[in-house]
A = this chain, B = another copy of it.
Amino acid sequence: MKKPTTLKDIARETGVHVSTVSRALDMNGRSSLTEDVIQRVRDTALRMGYRPNRLASALRTSRTMTVGILIPDITNTVFPPIVRGMESVLEPLGYAAIIVNTDNLPEREHRLVEVLRERGVDGIIHAAALRDDPYIVEVAAQGTPVVTVNRSIEGSDIPGVVNDEAQGIRMMMQHLYDMGHRRIAHISGPESFSTGQARLRGFHDMAQELHLEIPPQAIVQSDQFNEAEGRRCTEILLARGWQFTAILCANDRLALGAIATLRAHGLRCPEDISITGFNDMPLLDLIPPGLTTIRIQQFLVGQVAARLLIQSITDPGAVPIETVLPVELIRRGSVAGARA
């Protein structure tokens, strides 16, 4: 239970004033101190096992060297690589991260942001932003640096990193088209997320470009990005009776649900119906028939977001509002040529 060494202890030990110790231990700002004093102080600090008390220093400087990360659900396998990407830039810079799960619930998000603010985080990386998220906009307006990842907030000037949704959908549609598909259904993402929205728009735009007819029955909107919703939406699609040869799903988990439901109806993927996803989440390659999907650069997206946040903290102003990262089409087994 021994109590930690403080600056005062080191001061007593070396016979200088605590402010001198503080200066000697300050790494960046050149301190105008004698080399000799600096050495003596640092040596004794090391010897006594000094560990700076960031709470105290934060109270003085209002810099905690801690940031908050808002995730919808860390259990969703797309997010861990993103988090590691963030950590890979934050940790070397001396930042620690408080990670919280919002479950996409606005009032839970609200509460958790309070938790972060009470702890004086220097900034917030928001991977769970809602398209309409007035609360976090307010937080940013009050001076807490905020950046969004994956999703963006509509009509706000909060910097964000996103994947090239439009291009991803475009490549996928082109691929399906090239494989002979003309009647393509779409299970779209929740309309409360910018990703769901962007992918839906991409779908319409590309359909028009390819001169595909997309009747209203071709599209079902999901309420969440998960397997259960994928199943529910596929049931609806099937019940509508419109004859489609492929379903372009707004993400991988919806696609997994779609495949399961198809199978339950005696339909095979890809022989009867082709299915596509989005994200290329981990382990996907091992799940038959191998989902054809759009790969986003999960680790990189995290890195870029973290860099943006650091920049917002140290040098606001010069931070780009939107950063778009390229995506890649991954062909696997879930797309086949359209039946005649």
Number of contacting residues on A, CB 8 A? 44
Within 8 Å CB of A77, what residues of B? 77, 80, 282-283
Min CB distance, A255 to chain B, in Å? 12
Binds B, one of A31-39, A53-61, A203-211, A330-338: A53-61
Within 8 Å CB of A87, what residues of B? 100-101
Q: How far is the CA of A58 from the CA of B288 in the complex (A)?
A: 52
Of all chain B residues, which has the CB nearest A49?
B142
Q: 1/0 per residue A91-102: CB within 8 Å of B?
A: 100001111110
Decide if A8 is an interface residue (CB 8 Å cutoff).
no
Q: How far is the CA of A119 from the CA of B56 in the complex (A)?
A: 10
Q: 1/0 per residue A288-318: CB within 8 Å of B?
A: 1000000000000000000000000000000
Number of copies: 2
A119 touches B143 (CB 8 A): no
Within 8 Å CB of A2, what residues of B? 142-143
A74 touches B74 (CB 8 A): yes
Min CB distance, A75 to chain B, in Å? 4
Q: How far is the CA of A286 from the CA of B2 in the complex (A)?
A: 52
Q: Which of B119, B142, B287 contacts A55 (CB 8 A)?
A: B119
Which residues of A approach B to under 8 Å, CB–CB? 1-2, 51-56, 58-59, 64, 66, 73-75, 77, 80-81, 83-84, 87, 91, 96-101, 112, 114-120, 142-143, 256, 282-283, 286-288
Within 8 Å CB of A282, what residues of B? 75, 77
Of all chain B residues, which has the CB nearest A118?
B54
Min CB distance, A316 to chain B, in Å? 10
A118 touches B51 (CB 8 A): yes
24 CB-based A-B contacts, threshold 8 Å: A1-B142, A51-B114, A53-B118, A54-B120, A55-B64, A55-B120, A74-B80, A74-B84, A75-B84, A75-B282, A77-B80, A77-B282, A87-B100, A91-B112, A91-B115, A96-B115, A96-B119, A97-B98, A97-B99, A99-B99, A256-B286, A283-B287, A286-B287, A287-B287
Q: Which of B1, B55, B74, B80 contacts A58 (CB 8 A)?
A: B55
Within 8 Å CB of A98, what residues of B? 66, 96-99
Within 8 Å CB of A283, what residues of B? 77, 283, 287
Q: How far is the CA of A137 from the CA of B100 in the complex (A)?
A: 28
Q: How far is the CA of A262 from the CA of B286 in the complex (A)?
A: 15
Within 8 Å CB of A287, what residues of B? 283, 286-287
Min CB distance, A37 to chain B, in Å? 24
Q: How far is the CA of A184 from the CA of B287 in the complex (A)?
A: 27
Min CB distance, A322 to chain B, in Å? 23
Of all chain B residues, which has the CB nearest A114?
B51
